[in-house]
Structure 1
Amino acid sequence: MSNNTGLDIWFAGAFAAFTVDLLVYPLDTLKTRLQSQHFETLYKDAAGKTKPSLFRGLYQGVGSIILITIPSSGAFFTTYEALKFSINEAIPPNSTIFLPQPAVHAVASGGAELVSCAVLTPAEVMKQNAQMLSSRGKRRSTSLEVFRHFQKHPSRLWRGYTALAARNLPFTGLQFPAFEYLKGYFLKRRMDRNGGKPIDGIGERAVITATSAAIAGSGAAWITTPIDVIKTRIMLAAGSGDDGLKSEPKPKSPSLLQAGIQGSRKSGLVVAREVLNVEGFRGLFRGALLRAGWTTIGSGLYLGCYESGRHYLEKNRREAREGDHLMQRDWSNVKVGIGGSRSHDVVKKSAWQDD
């Protein structure tokens, strides 16, 4: 494990999440709208052309997700690093038990994801419903409007936990082993070119980390797109009034808060079957290219910022220790309480000792 403290890791993860959310959030909004069951009716005209409304309000709901993603990401990386260290420590080097490092990374990332999803689910539900609200008219805050809608039934905010975990577990299980392998491979190649010297430059490590994360993340995102489509449908349905609960009056403009899948308590398998029946196999991969693209950018920035932030804090901590000259001083030649001191040569007897 590195010399980082748990607080270092938490701050690095939170900083990475904040940076990435601000930069790639519009692409996430487009992905949500593409995967929505109501994409054709809300964002296509009679001629089949895309309406301009698809590209309006791309930052709707960003407030709620940033507030929750910061502690969620901090919890993920703190748990991930702790589990990775604990598993490696539990298996001695000469033990007969052999656990490949990709398996260690998969288990550690899976456990961290379960913790993270518990924190993130309510914000994810609010975010995706806010992304689907019409941007027309005067709205002070789409996040606040969605929050007011869920005030009467707050339990709906956790309705997508299973779907979110079902998407994120295979995603992280695929991404992190590939990411750790690629990062180690690129770092080793770079060290070999430098004559075996370690890579201490923060910028250089960030580039290597970002490249590894982008490659690993894009592949994992493409493979797990069907689960992401199902997760999106379930979370959007959590904002509907079609589950037997009393719904709000329907506004003039279409809104996903009043238009979800019929029966928002349906399981993921039922939703998947309905998508296949209505839209075919291509429906499960709707938005796959966009998702892979923004995950390439997002994962690269996310893990690149996390790694550079973690090493920056670690480097500052190490330099602070090395700069403590008092602790670095060689005390081996200093004699304490042995032999005469200079004071013995210059101090004379007192008057009462002359007798």
Structure 2
Amino acid sequence: MDRPGFAASLVAGGIAGVSVDLILFPLDTIKTRLQSPQGFIKAGGFHGIYAGVPSAAIGSFPNAAAFFITYEYVKWFLHTGSSSYMTPVKHMLAASAGEVVACLIRVPSEVVKQRAQVSASSRTFQIFSNILGEEGIQGLYRGYKSTVLREIPFSLVQFPLWESLKALWSWRQDHVVDSWQSAVCGAFAGGFAAAVTTPLDVAKTRIMLAKAGSSAAGGSVLSALHEVWRSHGLAGSHLVLWHLLAKSLLST
């Protein structure tokens, strides 16, 4: 297995991340508002669905580039030769490492973006300045643990499934899959992973949007899920499932 190209992983991953985040930003805004404690209408409804897009535009390239560089290099480092039964484990470890590294960039961007999405009247830079002024750097990383806790299971499901589907399709047709076939495999894998991890995504959003000093701002995923369960029941933890599925399917 050849060592992956640093430049290729950086550029390809970065461009893919920017394209997905900007094209599907309206869906992301709707998802965030559905997950917010004040509810969809009070959070802005369909008004200002591009609020927070500067934060996404700035963070998406380095975030996606960091993930795919780490993912490809860990896959290369853990290459197991002909031990095919270890391949899914290799993909899981590579994806998990990629998420931990990428979240160092993703979380600050996500915090600013989500707060802008539920407060469309405030400018992105103003929100960024308020966070730094009131909470410091720690405020930008609120929700880091909950984000990693959501992203790692997502990747543990998505990437091994994506790689396995590509391998199966390639074996069935006796040649490497085309780009559109890889996209179909990715759409199915991403949609399935989104369905599994939706409750964790709801908890992550609640923690990031919580007011400073509140119990929810403490970053406890279990507390956030308990509050959603208490106020909305089981449906509350899946109240954005279809939007997450749509975003996952379209992003591939």
TM-score range relative to shorter protein: over 0.9
2:75 and 2:91 in contact (8 A); partners too: yes
Residue 340 of structure 1 corresponds to which residue in structure 2?
none
Residue 172 of structure 2 corresponds to which residue in structure 1?
189
Residue 148 of structure 1 corresponds to which residue in structure 2?
129
Greater CA deviation, 31-40 or 7-16? 31-40
Q: Aligned to 2:239, what secondary structure does the other structure show?
A: coil
Alignment of 1:236 with 2:209, yes or no, is yes
**Partner amino acid, structure 2, of 1:233:** R
With over 3 angstroms needed to count, the CA separation of the structure-2 counterparts of 1:179 and 1:147, relative to structure 1, is same
1:205, CA displacement in angstroms? 2.2
Q: Aligned to 1:56, what secondary structure does the other structure show?
A: coil
CA distance in 2, matches of 1:77, 1:38: 35
Cα deviations across residues 140-194 of structure 1 (Å, max 9, x unaligned)?
Answer: xx2112112112122111011001000000000000000001112222333x3xx
2:153 and 2:197 in contact (8 A); partners too: yes
Alignment of 1:291 with 2:233, yes or no, is no
Alignment of 1:225 with 2:224, yes or no, is no
CA distance in 2, matches of 1:287, 1:118: 25
1:100, CA displacement in angstroms? 2.0
TM (normalized to structure 1)?
Answer: 0.67
2:33 and 2:40 in contact (8 A); partners too: no
Give the unaligned 5+ runs of structure 1. 44-52, 193-197, 244-260, 301-355
1:93, CA displacement in angstroms? 4.2
Given candidates 149, 153, 160, the residue that maps to 2:143 is 160
| Pairs aligned (count) | 250
With over 3 angstroms needed to count, the CA separation of the structure-2 counterparts of 1:3 and 1:292, relative to structure 1, is same
Q: Aligned to 2:178, what secondary structure does the other structure show?
A: helix
Given candidates 48, 63, 73, the residue that maps to 1:57 is 48
Alignment of 1:23 with 2:23, yes or no, is yes
Q: How does 1:108-127 map to 2 (within 5 A)?
A: 108-127=94-113
Q: Aligned to 1:151, what secondary structure does the other structure show?
A: helix
Cα deviations across residues 172-223 of structure 1 (Å, max 9, x unaligned)?
Answer: 0000000001112222333x3xxxxx55xxxx72201111100000010011
Alignment of 1:68 with 2:54, yes or no, is no
When the two chains are superposed, the root-mean-square deviation of aligned CA atoms in Å is 2.0
2:131 and 2:140 in contact (8 A); partners too: yes
CA distance in 1, matches of 2:9, 2:216: 41
CA distance in 2, matches of 1:109, 1:162: 16
Residue 310 of structure 1 corresponds to which residue in structure 2?
none
TM (normalized to structure 2)?
Answer: 0.92
Residue identity (%): 34
Give the unaligned 5+ runs of structure 2. none
Residue 32 of structure 2 corresponds to which residue in structure 1?
32
Runs of 4+ in 1 over 6 A off after TM superposition: none
